[in-house]
Structure 1
Amino acid sequence: MPVVSNSTPLIHLAKIGRLELLREFFGEVLIPKAVYRECVLEGKGSRDAELIENADWIKVVEINDETLKKSLMLELDEGESEAIVLAIESKAELLLIDDYDGREVARALGLKVTGTIGVLLRAKFQGRIQNIKGELERLKETGFWLSEGLYKRILEEVGDD
């Protein structure tokens, strides 16, 4: 079953040099056109946009249910809305999404979700990264918002300090 991603996990993992984790974990990642636009076209000229564009394992897929997309856009942005629709249409095993509201809507629609932090935790537990604290620090430097409470809880859980 496929994995679908919204923009933020792709952008932030690319910014910290960890985009390849998605290929290692999932093989192929599907994204809707709005996510491609946000990541690649709006980010044109940036290193992360280039990495995302050149990742041949990231596949752009058109959604069909415009009615569902429009109703989701009452609460969410276009990329999140299309990612949720694509996850439903493709019967995705997982949706990669960081936005709290987007995650809540996706869960309410029966989707399994994780985000950038979940990917990094999986990498830590599988031994692909040694120090999660360093990864989280680099992530925060990219503008990724992470509450101090969650930051401390993650470090306690994995035993990094």
Structure 2
Amino acid sequence: MNKYQGRQTVANASFFSTFITTTKDGKKRPSIRFYRYFTMILIHLLFVLSFVADIQVIEGDITGSRMLGFHLADPFITTEVILSRGQLPINLLIGTFTILAFYMLFAGRAFCSWVCPYNFFGEFAERLNAKLVSKKIIKKREFDTKIRYIFLLAFWILS
């Protein structure tokens, strides 16, 4: 992507062109998006290798894992476990507080954009939706973002 020669955004650029950026002096280098996807793939590859080859750098999955001996747990999953079991496992609480500290230091969206695979699938679905809307195969719909709180409550109740 060359943002210096014209107005080009991720929405109107091809998928692979967004992994390379052009500097003011015309040199090409990897973009931040390239590094995000590289980090995402590397972390998930480490999860697979910890299971297949017993490389114990990262063990578990995205919702609850251990990285170099430190417990990590998703706060939402922690609330679900506490609601469903009625217990407070100490390792789960340690992992949750570790993640909450990370969220406070680096902002919660850093995890979603650099680690969570939903980001990749969300971007793919957004491009697919835009293409289908432009070809008039489907209608453009607005989604009320406040409905996420209903889903949050529903999952807690189902726990």
Mark yes or no: TM-score above 0.5: no
The structure with the larger Rg is 2
Give the alignment's TM-score, normalised by structure 2. 0.26
Give the alignment's TM-score, normalised by structure 1. 0.25
Q: Larger relative contact order (C-alpha < 8 A, sep ≥ 6)?
A: 1
